[in-house]
A and B are shown apart, each in its own frame.
Chain A
């Protein structure tokens, strides 16, 4: 099965690969994975506590091309957004943007989970009640 052009593009030129200091109080880290296929995805964001704007986002993903592209796209999308805006990103948006085939939908679910996990971690650090957000549509 061939990857879509956008997946290949993100795979060859992944945006925002790397990591942010985990201990930084303004950095939220989300580590998620799919045990069955062995994908692990780490997404980190640096969030301004005053404006709640995501100023930086980094990722590192071990997995297939679609998993890498999904997380690369996720970092691109969350940058410059507020926490609330980032939380509204749905895995289906990622599927659409990258034209992911049905068998690769779980990669987009992982990316959505990673965004939520990173923001959840940041909120915990700031003592903010984590609102009950909808779970990704598994």
Chain B
């Protein structure tokens, strides 16, 4: 859902476009706003107002769901800042990561073959399990980096454009890296089921 010009998700909650959000306060505000928009309050209201409250209410739910999730929050922020670039082939992945991805894919292939031919799965599985662990660790690393970049963003809220653009590019890069690793983890988990 695209927010209207005047209301982005941050504005709905009366928040600046900062990446650090106090969860307790966000929840409080959410409950408060939900209460205001509750259909019960509009039973006798004109149809237009009823519809508007429904629309606002669903917008509020989307906003809350997005802002509550630290990754979705960054993604959304970059979106409204016009800086989210997905699938753009900009930077080459680091060689060590490519190496690992390649090996992992080979192991996945082997596991699929072994499953089909009823071969020995135990060794392959343990290899994949350690690969999964490894990628999970990488995922946590990216999340920490994402948090750090988020703090930089908040600190530069009133900063100059070049600084802000640099942080946005960094956040974007981290999100891409995160989704890359996330996909790998999902693929491994699918095969391990």
Contact = CB atoms under 8 A, between A and B. Distances in A.
Given A31-B99, A62-B102, A62-B105, A36 B88 contact: yes
B87 A36 contact: yes
Contacts of A109: 89
Interface in A33-51: 33-38, 40, 42
Given A40-B102, A138-B89, A35 B177 contact: yes
A38 B184 contact: yes
**For this complex, into which size category does the number of interface residues on chain A fall?**
10 to 19
B101 interface: yes
Interface stretch (B1-9, B76-84, B90-98): B90-98
Interface string A7-46: 0000000000000000000000001111111101010000
A32 B99 CA distance: 9
Most-contacted residue by chain A among B89, B179, B183 (CB, 10 A) = B89
A31 B184 CA distance: 18
A58 interface: no
Interface residues of B, number: 22
B172 to A, nearest CB: 11
A21 B183 CA distance: 30
The interface residues of chain B, by DSSP majority, are classed as: helix
Contacts, number: 46
B180 A38 contact: yes
Contacts of A38: 101, 180, 183-184
Contacts of B97: 35
B176 interface: yes
A12 to B, nearest CB: 17
A123 interface: no
A35 B105 contact: no
B95 A31 contact: yes
Contacts of B95: 31
Nearest to A105: B89
A1 B74 CA distance: 32
Contacts of B86: 36
Contact of B90 (A32, A37, A138): A138
B51 to A, nearest CB: 38
6 contacts: A31-B95, A32-B98, A35-B97, A40-B105, A60-B106, A62-B105
Q: Which 4 A-B pairs have the closest CB atoms?
A: A62-B105, A35-B180, A35-B93, A36-B87
Interface of A: 31-38, 40, 42, 60, 62, 106, 109, 113, 138
